[in-house]
A and B are shown apart, each in its own frame.
Chain A
Amino acid sequence: QSVLTQPPSMSGTPGQRVTISCSGSTSNIGTNSVNWYQQVPGGTPKLLIFGNTQRPSGVPDRFSGSKSGTSASLAISGLQSEDEATYYCVVWDNNLMGLFGGGTKLTVL
Chain B
Amino acid sequence: EVHLVESGGGLIQPGRSLRLSCAASGFTFNEYAIHWVRQVPGKGLEWVSGISWNSGSKGYAGSVQGRFTISRDNARNSVYLQMDGLQSEDTALYYCVKDQDEFRWQWLALDSWGQGTLVTVSS
A, B assembled together: yes
- Tell me the minimal C-beta distance from A102 to chain B in angstroms: 5
What's the A-B contact tally at a CB cutoff of 8 Å? 61
Task: Return the chain B residue nearest A95 by Cβ.
Answer: B62
In contact, A97 and B47 (Cβ under 8 angstroms): yes
Chain B, residues 37-53, CB within 8 Å of chain A (1/0): the string is: 10000001111001000
Give the secondary structure class of A's interface: strand
When chains A and B are docked, how far (Å) is the Cα of A49 from the Cα of B46? Answer: 18
Q: In the complex, how many residues of chain B place their beta carbon closer than 8 angstroms to a beta carbon of chain A?
A: 23
When chains A and B are docked, how far (Å) is the Cα of A45 from the Cα of B47? Answer: 13
User: Which residues of chain A have C-beta atoms less than 8 A from B60's C-beta?
Assistant: 96-97
Chain A residues within 8 Å of B, Cβ to Cβ = 2, 32-33, 35, 37, 39, 44-45, 47, 50-51, 56, 86, 88, 90-92, 96-103
